[in-house]
Structure 1
């Protein structure tokens, strides 16, 4: 339902109106807004971090996209950093430009892609042309100016564990201690082999890739963007799209110009660690978030199941020794 300013009837709508009124270019304008994409954690992970809105002037079509971060995400998302990364990516033609943001209001406004663009699904990433465009976009970002912060997925796991508390592993799963030890081995192996961090989207979700009718892609949601090992950035994308090594090999040929088993091993190991992080994160959100309608625990259990299955792969030890 489209609403004009002053018609808010819920806390979320009042927050949206306050943000819209705070945008200098919209001062005294006849602004309208309508709910955007509903947050869903399972079976797909989409729009979970924020309440979002399509914003228009008067009766014209919407041209802007407003995001207001949920309070339960404040420990995980630095809005200033996210907007800085998105702005850099937008200058490269990789994402819609951020137009305004307010960290105190946890709000950011972006250009809105044309209505003909759509959100990618996992099966879209299995299409060679879409996958090639997505990898090309990520490689372009890797070659740009470094961001202000560098991290690894292992840093993220430790942060989420600390937030969950002393019972983190027990809360995650009965075999959580074993998964955590194995991921510790992955971290040690990657540190020993070394890596060169690059600015990256650092987000593997299909829902954070937009597709045009001609197959062009844009990356959206730079909340996870940092300097990371590029193979982490690619590995989590491949983990979203593919189950088997044979399916991942052509993607790595696109990324590096040739297939290397060491690169596949690194991607696979990063994907395992990423699944553990999101399993811990989902468990934490199920514990602390007031949004009971979002299936955080179901999402966490799915990511932990995939982590567990990958760790039981007979090739796991061999991958650790071949990076």
Structure 2
């Protein structure tokens, strides 16, 4: 999800940290950039440096399960792809994980050819790890988001409903050659990849769940606004060899991610008090989705997913 940018650490935030015994001996607290459904604080203690994730009340409306986030963060850490979980205080909605001292990727980092094998290695590590506590499926989540938008009267982009048949066609095509689900982050924008130089870590498991691994690959590519060649490179690194069918699968999932996350933006646009242009953020994705829905490759991608080996 989009980055809120750094802000002020308030007394209310510090009071929530007080409720977490692992943070009682803290010596320093500073704000970190992070998602818009949580605030991330860097907390230094004599025992180590941690990140405290303070979740916000909009979480349930956006279909975020904080208990599942905690359980999945523990499982992701066990896979080796994510930092260790230190504490969870659900009564104050605080999750504490070990701080990773590295640089946050930008979209251009995701698309660097030399980084494709590194991203793929981290993905394979996560996907081979312990199963998560819940499932995630954008083909199911998108209709749920849409129903909420319609019930609450949140605005929809022009032609949004016109593409319902396209989404159904994607679902039908993907079902012809199903892929076993694996533990997935499901929100791998570049900012959720931390590079320590020797390896990359995958962080933030708000939207995590067992899912088609090619949603993960396609969503990472889509969030970075990559080209088809960029996606082919990433899929090849992930699979170990070129595959037209799996590249098409990842591209269709990337398309569904843009179509679905637009509704996330609409819900935030209608409910959030944050000073952030959620609508513009969502429309950037939606406009790219429309280009693909209307473009010459859509039918070919459906066919390749259904028939290619």
TM-score scaled to structure 1, two decimals? Answer: 0.85
For 1:241 and 1:174, locate their aligned partners in 2 and report how far apart those are by CA, in whole Å: 24
Equivalent residues of 1:129, 1:215 under 8 A apart: no
Residue aligning to 2:95: 108
Q: CA deviation at 1:105?
A: 1.6
Which structure 2 residue ranges, 5 or more long, are not aligned? 1-7
- 1:232 — aligned with what? 215
1:137 counterpart = 2:108: no
Counterpart CA distance in 1 for 2:18 and 2:188 is 34
State the alpha-carbon separation in 2 of the partners of residues 184 and 258 from structure 1.
Answer: 29
Secondary structure of residue in 2 paired with 1:104:
helix
Q: Give the deviation of 1:31 after TM superposition.
A: 4.1
The list of structure 1 runs, each at least 4 consecutive aligned residues, that deviate by more than 6 angstroms after superposition, is: none
Judging changes above 3 Å, is the alpha-carbon distance between structure 1 residues 30 and 91 closer, same or farther for their aligned structure 2 residues?
closer
After superposition, where does 1:260-275 map in structure 2 within 5 Å?
260-275=243-258
Deviation, 1:167, is 7.4
Contact 2:76 2:130 in 1 (8 A): no
Aligned residue in 1 for 2:149: 164
**Deviations 1:173-219 (CA, angstroms, capped at 9, x unpaired):** 1201112321122112212332211111222300100011x251000
Contact 1:64 1:110 in 2 (8 A): yes
* Range 221-230 or range 171-180, more displaced: 171-180
Aligned equivalents of 2:51, 2:76: Cα separation in 1:
17
Match of 2:52 in 1: 66
Asked if residue 191 in structure 1 is aligned to residue 175 in structure 2, the reply is yes
Q: 1:244 deviation in Å? A: 2.5
The 8 Å contact of residues 138 and 201 in structure 1, kept in 2 or not, is answered as: no
Query: Residue 22 of structure 2 contacts residue 87 of structure 2 at CA under 8 Å; is this kept in 1?
Result: no
Q: 2:37 aligns with which of 23, 30, 49?
A: 49
Structure 1 residues 235-293: Cα deviation after superposition (integer angstroms, max 9, x where no partner): 111223353322322222211121111111111111111001111110111011122x1
1:304 alignment counterpart: 286
Counterpart check, 1:243 vs 2:226: yes
Match of 1:280 in 2: 263
Give distance in 1, aligned partners of 2:284 and 2:239.
30
- 2:59/2:65 contact within 8 Å kept: no
Counterpart in the other structure of 2:3: none
Partner of 1:15: 12
* Offset, 1:94: 1.4
1:206 lines up with 2:190 in the alignment: yes
* 1:62-118 per-position Cα deviation (integer Å, ceiling 9, x unaligned): 71111111212233221111121111121232111121112232211111112xx11
Q: Which has the larger radius of gyration?
A: 1
RMSD: 2.1
Does structure 1 retain, via aligned residues, the 8 Å contact 2:77–2:83?
yes
**Pair 1:35-2:23 in alignment:** no
Inter-CA distance 167–54: structure 2 relative to 1 (3 Å threshold): closer
User: Partners in 1 of 2:291 and 2:257 — Cα distance?
Assistant: 14
Residues 282 and 297 in structure 1, CA contact (< 8 A), matched pair in contact too: yes
Choose from 127, 131, 156 the match for 1:146: 131
> 1:49 & 1:110 partners in 2: Cα distance?
17
Paired with 1:150 and 1:312, the residues of 2 have a C-alpha distance of: 30
Residue of structure 2 in register with 1:128 after alignment: 113
Residue 39 of structure 2 aligns to a residue whose secondary structure is strand
Distance 1:30 1:88, change over 3 A: closer
2-structure distance, mates of 1:294, 1:108: 24
